[in-house]
Amino acid sequence: MAQHHEPDLNAAVLHRELERSSEPLILPIRQRRSESSVVEEDAADSVFVRDRCGLQRVCRSFILVLRADGNYVELLTTGKRFVLRTSLRDVIQQLGEQRFPQVNRNTAVNLDRLDRVDLDSVEVGGELITLSRSYRSALLDRLQVLSGR
């Protein structure tokens, strides 16, 4: 059975340019990181969270919101939701207090995922979350704010 190959238009254009140009053509080479450096980088920024099947690796940068409800903490990521039986304070300490500040009594947010801060609310991933007065100044102190005048 004969295979039909469509011509590669990019290769044809590149070939014509090479024929017309007298200067050598230098194409950038994308360097590939070694697998060990990727694993170390991911391991440094990730935690394991217990789910029904065992332990699931979760990158801290994918965590959006931590929400407490009694003895449970709901951990919302970009793709999944986990429920942990612990306190919000313990989860914040384990993930890093500088990166996950509380915005009200029951909620902490990932500073890297913070989209907007208003007088009485914050927005993370399209969700508006109430910002309490008692936590506002601590949150604003952690933000890099560019202001004029």
The answer to the question of residue 97 being in a domain is: yes
Query: Residue-wise over 90-120: b if at least 16 C-beta within 10 A, else e?
Result: ebbeebeeebbbbbbebbbbbbebbeebeee
The answer to the question of residue 123 being in a domain is: yes
**For 85-136, how does the pLDDT look when each residue is reduced to its tens digit (9 = 90+)?**
999 999 999 999 999 999 999 999 999 999 999 999 999 999 999 999 999 9
The answer to the question of residue 6 being in a domain is: no
Neighbours of 133 (CB within 10 A): 9
Count of structural domains within the chain: 1
The answer to the question of residue 131 being in a domain is: yes
The answer to the question of residue 117 being in a domain is: yes
Q: How far apart are CA 114 and CA 106, in angstroms?
A: 17
The answer to the question of residue 96 being in a domain is: yes
The answer to the question of residue 21 being in a domain is: no
Enter the pTM of the model.
0.69
Q: How far apart are CA 132 and CA 136, in angstroms?
A: 6
The answer to the question of residue 41 being in a domain is: no
**For 51-90, how does the pLDDT look when each residue is reduced to its tens digit (9 = 90+)?**
888 899 999 999 999 999 999 999 999 989 999 999 999 9
Q: How far apart are CA 94 and CA 73, in angstroms?
A: 13
Residue-number span of the structural domain to which 81 is assigned: 74-144
